[in-house]
Every structure is written in structure tokens, then in C-alpha cells.
Structure 1
């Protein structure tokens, strides 16, 4: 009988306080990435392309642009071509001529994109404008093989690939970085304590009133209008160190892997918990029933079933009002709970109001 294993990770988030740079805690409002997407064709596939109708239509349109007309009703029977979506992230302050990475994914039923090359594909933003053009040979990490008897094996995904520096930026995105008399830092993880400490740290350097915490996610700072001065100004601020606020009490459960993450500030009110397993074992055996000699009976196979019920060792453990992480770990180890059982215990404690933490199941 296989025993399930519990992986319990303890996060000691408050025992040691570390200072982080502002650049690691927050980003400047208006300085952001932009998503681009495009539609194109990958050619040069070794018979692993798709047979989707829109692939043929796209191929016809492309050939007409080169002055080649395919007669109507004639199927080009493409097997070396695949229709793909192309997407990329345009970093902030990207300038025309710079190169960015792209990801290419099959739209139709192509078996593999290995060995293919992406033809010139415009990449557009949400406003419909073209900000980059992509082209190049794909790098596909997955691979597969198939035998003549129909057996096959595949490692990773073969219908998607990447092209490093596969797109050239053609248009920059306007930024509000140099506009206005203020700049705003937006925290990656909103927290009132962190926002307050960040504003206090900036005021200690620049003077009272230079920075103010707008809310749990934003800190507004008075900044110079001149772009050159503003760059130097942010360079100084983003390297200031701030001690972030402690995380709230959380218990995170991954129901698929059985991993449980417990934060340091998790507390449990006085409560008694009992845990027991009910195991039912059914053992089927076959026996032959042989009639006695010179009789009219037939030889038959008779099933012999043995059913065993084991209720396990039901034990009860007590949580006091000052439960620590070590107490929780010891109780879990003593009771020998499986991942599903421990999840049920935590959910029951939460329902009873004894678990003083946010319970997150992913």
C-alpha cells in the first residue's frame, strides 16, 4: 500500500527583516511593457504542417502579392506550411531598430514546427498599429518520434517555438515618463506598511513633503520636469533601501502536488483535532469447484472474496492558543496525515474559526 507524502514548507517571513531596494519593490507608473501579436506563416516543415482552410487562404493571398495566382478550386496540398500566431513583449522605451524576442505557436493542426522558418509578419498593438516586424528560423525545444506500428513518443511541445531577437522594432510607444510635476511608484505587492516606510525613506533624503503614500499600492514623489534631471532623480531614489512590511498570515495548499506553505504569523485558537483512516481491502481469489466422480455436475470456477476493514490508529491532538510553526509541524508528523487529510483538517479549522489565516487552495 503506497503512503502519500506531505511536503510542508515553512516561511519564516518575519523572523529576519531584510531591506530591499525601491527598484525591487515598485515600478514607475507609465514605465511598462506592451503586448504585441501577429498572424503569419511558417514554411520549410518536413511534412508536419497543417491542412486548415485558413492556411490555404493565407498562402493564396501571399502568393498573389508576389504575382502568382493559384487557380480557384485547386488545393495546393500544403504539408510544409503552418499558420501561426506570433506574440512578443515590447519593453518600455524601445526604439526603432532594436530587436526583441518572439514566441510562435501553431493555430491549426500542425504536428511540429521543428525546422520551420517564420515569414515576414507584422506585430500589432491593441490600437491596430504595427510596432515591430518578425521573421527568422524557429527554435523548438520539443521533439517526437513515431514508429511504423503506430507507437509514438513526444517530449515537451513541438507546436510552439521561439526566435531570439526575431523581431525588429519599427515604432516606439509614447511614454508619460517626463510629464507632470510628480512621478508615482506602484508597489508590486500592495501593502500599507511598505508604502508608509517608502515615503518616509524618501522624505528622509529629500525633505518633508517630498513623498506621500497615496494608498497601499502607490507613493507619489515631487520630481523635476527636465528629462535628464528626472532620470538622475529616479536613479537615486530606486537604489534607496526600504524594509517591506511583513506578509499577512496565509496557508497555501497545492491540491495537485500536496505541497503546503505555512506563513510565520499563522495562529490557531485552542482546539482538539482527531484524525483517522478507514481502509477497506478487498482480495478476490478464484477457486475451482470439481464435482465428485460419476456425477452429473460440471467443473466451475468460484470466486472467493476476502474483505478486511482497518480503521487505523485514531489519535487526537490538542492545539493551544499560542501555536507556533513548530507545533503545527509536530502535530502533522505525529498524526501521520496524508495530503488530502491535512487539507481537510485545515479547511475544517478555517470553517470553525480556529485558523487565524487566509486559506488559499490552488
Structure 2
């Protein structure tokens, strides 16, 4: 049985599509920041953890409230779980605004469903506290157990989210309103795209108003006043630029068998043949029974049957200036499975016939 092969074709049309600058690039200095914290989730229905650090954290918290748990006494905190907390602080977030957070069990808690996160600080990479987190945990997964010990679980129950679960306490300073320039950084470095973006901005603002620093960055002269700079950037980010075409690439996902062939992929004159060799081994067990009542033992004797089949496949000869459509048609005629096609492409690349970058992920 032949396997089904999917080939995705990118950029088959020669019509260029213009994109907005806001979709192609970001403003240097305007970025989000990652926050992380540690805390306790309480109120669990016996699904907490029994880690030593959870007990230590619980004791420290109780001492802050003036309650001392005697040493050696087990507090039996099955309804408590130690969790890590992480969140993303958006650019220009101001104190008082709220952000979403994600909590994940650090111990062996079975589930965080029904739990509540107690007040916990969220810190940045510099060690400063930027937000305070607290709230009820929402868990998408669930599980059920029967009296006979059978169980079923759907999704992950040891992690959950708290929408608007953290309040921003400190804003992150940015360089947005500093200096006489703004710099756009392309999401994908490309000299052609950088040149076209600088030219588009120059056509609007005048000579020497924008120039490309390299394949990624375009520097633009901008007003110093913050209000004017916001309006200025609002106009620029909606300008449309035709990005440069990607270089010829063939991307192979060896795990899923997905093969993506980009535009401008070509093959030099080459001949390709593909043979399918199938080896089948069936192990049959036969019983050897002594005849009549003669002395001897009944034994099991393996009987192996080996069958080898080889299918004849045609050879395809590619001439010069082979197009993407020619490659796809030839592959379909060969009827290669994903694994076989990967081997063919790798062989073409090794032979120097494939005029494209071969990327295996």
C-alpha cells in the first residue's frame, strides 16, 4: 500500500503582495519582558504535593502571620502545592494594569483544579519586582477514577492560567522617546526588503529621512516630542512595502513526513530512478510429533518464510531549467513515499543538482 504524500507549495504565483511595515518589522526598544515567580496554590481537594520545599514554604508563610508550627509536627498539607508562576509584561505596561499569568506545579501535585494562588511577587531578569500575582486557577484538563482503580485523564491538570491574575507594580523604561531616530528591525533579515522599506519611507518623508543599516535595521529620523513621535510612527507602520522574495529552500520535517518546496527551486540536468524493495519474513511455528508410540518428545520447530518483492520504477531525466511544477509532477509519477522522497532530495543535494537550501527539522 502506498503512503499518502503531501507536498506544500509556497510562492507559486509571481504576483508580489505588499505588507504593512507593522507586519514586517518592530520598533527597536519596544519589547515585552518575561516575569517569573514562586508561590503556593491552596484549597486543593487532596491533590497537592508532599515535597519538602512545599512544607518549608508553608511553614515560612505561617510564621509571617505569627503562627509557629512545632518542629517535627507534620502539617499534612495535601491541599497545598508549590508552583512556578510566569507571565509576559507587555511594552509600555503601566502600574495598575493587569496581565495574565500561568502557574505550573513544581512537585508531584496531581491537579491544581479548584485551587487559589496566594499573593506572590513576579520578578524580572534584573531581580526587581514588576507585578504581584494572586487569584483562582483555571485548569483545562480533568480526570476521573473508578473504584476498581481505573482512571482517565484529559489534558494536563498540573498547570493552569489566571486571566488578569497579576497587577503591574512597576513599568519598564524604554528608549522609544529618546534621541532623534527610530530604528525598525525586520522580523526576517533580507537586504532587498530593508532597501525597499527605506525607499518607501524616503518617498513619503523626503531625502535622507531613512536609510538601511544592514539586512535587518532601518533607521528613520523622528521628532523628539513624544506625542508627535506617536503620530509619526502611526503613519509609518501603515505604509505598505513589497518584501523581497525568499531564497530557494526545501524544508523537510523528518518526524511528520512533511515536505515544503519554496519558490525558485530548480534542478540541474540529472537522471533519477527509484526502486522499491520489500522483504517480508513470516515466522510460523510447526509441531513435530513422534510417529505412533515410539520414544521421543514433541517439539516446536520454527519455519520461516522469506518473500522478496522488487517493483520496477521508471527513470526520469530532467533537462536544464527545470521548474517547481516539473519537480512536483515527476515526484507524483514516481509515487515515492515521504521517507523515499527525503532520500531522493538529499541525494540530489549531495550531487549538487538541487539548486536550493535543504533544511531538515
Query: Hey, what does 2:24 align to over in structure 1?
Result: 25
Distance 2:39 2:54 in 1: 9
Q: Please give the residue correspondences for 1:17-56 in structure 2 after superposition, counting only pairs within 5 Å.
A: 17-56=16-55
Deviation (angstroms), 1:148 = 3.9
Tell me if structure 2 keeps the 8 A contact 1:100–1:165.
Answer: yes
Identify the range of structure 1 (48-57 vs 290-299) with the bigger mean alpha-carbon deviation. Answer: 290-299
Q: Deviations over 1:296-332 (max 9, x none)?
A: 2443333322110112224322222222222121222
Distance 1:3 1:74, change over 3 A: farther
Matches within 5 A, 1:321-360: 321-360=320-359
Counterpart position of 1:96: 95
Deviations 1:122-151 (A, max 9, x none): 101111111111111111111222334443
Taking the aligned partners of 2:337 and 2:85, their CA distance within structure 1 comes to 44
Q: Cα distance, 1:190 vs. partner?
A: 1.0
Matches within 5 A, 1:1-362: 3-12=2-11, 15-362=14-361
Report the 3-state secondary structure (helix = DSSP H, G, I; strand = E; otherwise coil) of the residue aligned with 2:276. coil
1:76 Cα offset (Å): 1.5
Structure 1 residue 12 displacement after superposition: 1.6
SS in 1 for 2:311: coil
**2: CA distance between counterparts of 1:218 and 1:274?**
46
TM-score, structure 2 length as denominator? 0.96
Deviations 1:325-349 (A, max 9, x none): 2212122212221211111111111
Report the Cα distance in structure 2 between the residues aligned to 1:48 and 1:13, rounded to whole angstroms.
Answer: 54
CA distance in 1, matches of 2:194, 2:344: 36
Q: Can you list the C-alpha shifts for 1:44-79, whole angstroms capped at 9, x where unaligned?
A: 111111111111111111111111111112222221
SS at structure 1 position matched to 2:157: coil
- Relative to structure 2, which stretch is displaced further, 348-357 or 190-199? 348-357
Pairwise CA RMSD = 1.5
Residues of 2 paired with 1:163 and 1:64: CA distance? 27
93-102 or 318-327, larger mean C-alpha shift = 318-327
TM-aligned CA distance change 1:191 to 1:42, over 3 Å: same
Q: Secondary structure at the match of 2:30?
A: coil
Determine if contact 1:13/1:247 at 8 Å carries over to the other structure. Answer: no
CA drift of 1:286 comes to: 2.8
Q: CA 1:13–1:166 in structure 2 vs 1: closer, same or farther (change >3 Å)?
A: farther
What's the CA shift string for 1:169-220, capped at 9, x where partnerless? 1111111111000010111111111111001011111101000011110100
Contact 1:189/1:217 (<8 A) preserved: yes
Moved over 4 A (4+): none
- Preserved CA contact (<8 Å) 1:197 1:244: yes
SS at match of 2:119: strand
Q: Are 1:14 and 1:246, in contact at CA under 8 Å, matched by a contact in 2?
A: no
Name the SS of the counterpart of 1:285 in structure 2: strand
Distance (Å, rounded) in 1 between the aligned partners of 2:319 and 2:41: 64
- Per-residue deviation at 1:272? 1.2
- CA distance in 2 between partners of 1:146 and 1:320 (Å): 65
Structure 2: runs of 5 or more not aligned: none
Quickly say closer, same or farther: Cα 1:96–1:317, change in 2 above 3 A.
Answer: same
SS of the counterpart of 1:225?
coil
Normalising by structure 1, what TM-score?
0.96
Closer/same/farther in 2, CA of residues 93 and 345 from structure 1, 3 Å limit: same
Measure how far apart 1:14 and its partner are: 5.4
Gaps of 5+ in 1: none
